[in-house]
């Protein structure tokens, strides 16, 4: 059974610092991996999707890497801003089936 | 365009009551998913529809949980005889295709269910 772990569970940084969020998964037979953002009381917003054949994806200040063989992904957020404060979730989609398996999330606070 | 909408946004039920949660996916989206998110945890898969066909219900925790999507659009998640452990946020997501490698799931705001 696929298990997804995110470390740390919570992170607090001063504004301007770079953020590094880690995600690990136990079964490397994945179809793709997604990073989501969740704001309190709201649904999930997709940030980046990395296909299994890709090594990284970039969007603005966000960069996500994927090392399928070691079962790891890292989300980098450059020059953090208070508006980046949210919970970040990674999710893997396995080769068989369409469901996503989520990690527990990393709660990020960027202090002005 | 409009995103995924869910109703009600909040539901309080007494233990033993039946509840029905509604999801309106993005128009034209083929795939629809339900997830359950307990406080402080990541979402967990409940069930998946492709059009009106329920292709995967492996995540439904018990036979008290039932989902349908009769016309391949709106979906309803029904929980019978609610129990306190059913308290969670129920998230609905839709995606345009049948599961291609770039198919992104778009999530609704969720329904927060509290069972007293």
Looking at the partner chain, which of A34, A43, A103 has a beta carbon nearest the beta carbon of B42? A103
Is B85 in a helix, a strand, or coil? helix
Q: For B48-78, how does the pLDDT look when each residue is reduced to its tens digit (9 = 90+)?
A: 999 999 999 999 999 999 999 999 999 999 9
Cα separation of the two ends of chain A: 41
- Joined tokens for residue B6: 């869910």
**Is it true that the peptide bond before B85 is cis, omega within 30 degrees of 0?**
no
Of all residues in chain A, the percent with pLDDT exceeding 90 is: 86
* Contact residues on chain B for A91, CB-CB shorter than 8 A: 42
To the nearest whole percent, how much of chain A has pLDDT over 70? Answer: 98
H or E stretch including B63?
none
Check: CB of residue A19 under 8 Å from CB of residue A77.
yes
Q: Is the model's pLDDT at B102 over the cut of 70?
A: no
pLDDT in tens, A18-71: 999 999 999 988 989 999 999 988 889 999 999 999 999 999 999 999 999 999
Q: In this predicted structure, which of A26-35, A50-59, A91-100, B95-104 has the lowest mean pLDDT?
A: B95-104
- pLDDT at position B99: 66
Q: What are the structure tokens assigned to A49, written together?
A: 């999707």
Q: Residue A57 CB: number of other CB atoms within 10 A?
A: 19
Q: Is A82 helix (H, G, I), strand (E, B) or coil?
A: helix
CB contact under 8 A, B108 and A45: no
Q: How confident is the model at residue A94 (pLDDT cuts 50, 70, 90)?
A: confident
Q: Among residues B71, B73, B65, which one has the least CA distance to residue B35?
A: B65
The closest of B48, B42, B93 to B67, measured between CA atoms, is B48
Q: Is B45 on the interface with A (CB under 8 A)?
A: yes
Give B104→chain A minimum CA distance, Å: 8
């Amino acid at each position: 059974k696929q298990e997804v772990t995110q470390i740390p569970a919570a992170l607090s940084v001063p504004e301007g610092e770079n953020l590094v969020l880690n995600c690990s998964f136990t079964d490397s037979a994945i179809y793709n991996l997604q990073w989501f953002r969740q704001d309190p009381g709201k649904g999930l917003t997709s940030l980046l999707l990395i296909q299994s054949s890709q090594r990284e994806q970039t969007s603005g200040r966000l960069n996500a890497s994927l090392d399928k063989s070691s079962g790891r992904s890292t989300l980098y957020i450059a020059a953090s801003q208070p508006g980046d404060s949210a919970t970040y979730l990674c999710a893997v989609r396995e080769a068989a089936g369409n469901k996503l398996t989520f990690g527990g999330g990393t709660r990020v606070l960027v202090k002005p | 365009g409009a995103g995924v909408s869910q109703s009600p946004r909040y539901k309080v039920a007494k233990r033993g009551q039946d509840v029905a949660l509604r999801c309106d996916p993005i128009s034209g989206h083929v795939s629809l998913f339900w997830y359950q998110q307990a406080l402080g945890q990541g979402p967990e898969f409940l069930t998946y529809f492709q059009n009106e066909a329920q292709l995967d219900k492996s995540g439904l925790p018990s036979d008290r949980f039932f989902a349908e999507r009769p016309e391949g659009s709106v979906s309803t998640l029904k929980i019978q005889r609610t129990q306190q452990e059913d308290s969670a946020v129920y998230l609905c997501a839709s995606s345009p295709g049948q599961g291609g490698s770039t198919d992104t799931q778009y999530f609704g705001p969720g329904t927060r269910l509290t069972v007293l």
